[in-house]
Amino acid sequence: MSSSTPSPSSPTEWVEQAAEHTEAALEYMRQFGVEPEGHIRPFLPPDTRQDHIDRIPYTHDVRQRVVYKTEPGEFSARCPFSGLPDFGTVEVTYVPGDWILELKSLKYYFMSWRDIGAAQEDITALLFEDLMAELENPARLTITTEYNVRGGINTTCTVDSTNQ
């Protein structure tokens, strides 16, 4: 994983970076005629997320399916239109190649999304790209996000390595 924008190191830096990114995101959406309603809370860009997940060698000949799923309320990011939290669950399913993910590090990675503003579909794609980069060669990787209902619409996004 690469991180081109360093994470803010001070509260002042956080506010400045969040304000810049929030305005840039809103300007992008204006191109498509989308205007936010109400109060906007600032958020950070996706490239400020944790840029590494620890991993452990998988040395077995046995192929197994590994599933990690967050509990409701454990994963959130920010709506890129309002800055309000978007809560959801993340399910990671994979068949290990040479590596497995270390769970504490994975948890901190998920937590690093809390102040990031991005579309739900973009977040799912970025989760897939990040985890594929860390696992390097899984036989299969599927990332599914399911977000809390908002405006009467349930959003579920899935990226599966067999479709890439």
pLDDT score of 2: 46
Strand partners, 76: 87
In a domain, 74, yes or no: yes
Say which CATH number the domain at 111 has: 3.30.1130.10
In a domain, 148, yes or no: yes
In a domain, 2, yes or no: no
Q: What is the pLDDT of residues 57-95, one digit of tens each?
A: 999 999 999 999 999 999 999 988 878 899 999 999 999
In a domain, 132, yes or no: yes
Q: Which residues are catalytic?
A: 79, 86
Distance CA 40, CA 49 (A): 21
pTM of the model: 0.86
In a domain, 5, yes or no: no
In a domain, 4, yes or no: no
In the chain, how many domains are there? 1
pLDDT score of 3: 47
- Helical H runs in the chain? 11-30, 103-111, 120-135
Distance CA 30, CA 12 (A): 27
The segments of the chain whose pLDDT lies below 70 read 1-8, 38
In a domain, 25, yes or no: yes
Structural domain span for residue 133: 11-163
pLDDT score of 5: 56
In a domain, 1, yes or no: no
